[in-house]
Amino acid sequence: MLLKLGVDIARLKRPIRRKLDLIDNIFERNGYGEAVISSTYEGDHGANSLHYADLAIDLRRPKKRITITLKDLEKDLKESLGKDFDVILEGNHFHIEYDPKG
């Protein structure tokens, strides 16, 4: 997994940190290469964003489709991460957050 210059993953909480290798493997196995974290807590996010609780990451949207579409990649991420994670394709990035459902 790669980090955009200036991105700090040191503060990420355990639930999301433990999924980084899985996320990277999903990108790789679907032909998108290494995942790139483009944001954690830094940057501008909504006031109640889980980025500020160190429970969310943004991943750069891959430029080149190799094996599956971005929608299929989003579906694979959701299924692999499980119900306690939200995965949203937002324009130029994927937003992934740990948000337990009870």
**For the domain that residue 90 is a member of, what is the CATH number?**
3.30.1380.10
* 83 burial via Cβ count (<10 Å: 0-12, 13-18, 19+): exposed
- Number of domains forming the structure of the chain: 1
Residue 37 to residues 15, 62, 82, 101, 102, Cα–Cα distance (Å): 16, 11, 20, 24, 27
Q: How far apart are CA 1 and CA 42, in angstroms?
A: 18
Query: Which residue segment(s) compose the domain that 88 sits in?
Result: 2-98
pLDDT at 70: 87
pLDDT at 26: 95
Q: What is the pTM of this model?
A: 0.91
pLDDT at 78: 97
pLDDT at 10: 95
pLDDT in tens, the chain (102 residues): 999 999 999 999 999 999 999 999 999 988 888 999 999 988 777 878 998 899 999 999 887 666 678 889 999 999 999 999 999 998 889 999 999 987
Q: Where are the alpha helices (DSSP H) in the chain?
A: 14-17, 20-29, 70-81
Q: Are 22 and 80 in contact (CB under 8 A)?
A: yes
